Amino acid sequence: MTGQFDYLHEVGTLRDVVFHIGVRADPTLNDVNSFAAVLFFRKSDGADIEVAKIDNTEHREGKIHIDRYYREKGADEKDFTLDVDGIWDADRYLEDNWQHFARTYLDNHGKSGEPT
């Protein structure tokens, strides 16, 4: 997954798990038509696990939204009430809230990504 990003930065470590935010834009970071900002961690086997993603893929319910993979299995993942206006807002939102999302993800799914 890390090769898919135009911009990548580490946000911190929680319970010995290093979390990153990766940002991708189409066509470029300076001319954004579509974007995604992703909070993720890398498992020991090299697989990247998405914890939360903010993107502007259009859905029936709206446009900019957060996919909340940190929630319990079966919980509603998409939230269209997000107060984010664009790519850098999305990056900042994930950075400001990464610890909550990471903690909730690890509580619900563990480091393996499977429900606990």
Please indicate, yes or no, if residue 49 is contained in any of the structural domains: yes
Q: State mean pLDDT over 15-19.
A: 95
Most confident residue range from 50-54, 68-72, 74-78, 80-84: 50-54
User: In the Cβ-directed half-sphere of 90, how many Cα atoms lie within 13 Å?
Assistant: 27
Each residue of 22-40: pLDDT tens digit?
999 999 999 999 999 999 9
Q: Which range of residues forms the domain containing residue 103?
A: 2-109
Please indicate, yes or no, if residue 116 is contained in any of the structural domains: no
Phi, psi of 56 (to 5 degrees): -115, 30
Q: Which residue has the tokens 């996919």?
A: 67
Q: Is the pLDDT of residue 2 over 70?
A: no
Identity of the residue numbered 102: A
Please indicate, yes or no, if residue 115 is contained in any of the structural domains: no
Please indicate, yes or no, if residue 37 is contained in any of the structural domains: yes
Please indicate, yes or no, if residue 82 is contained in any of the structural domains: yes
Number of structural domains (the chain) is 1
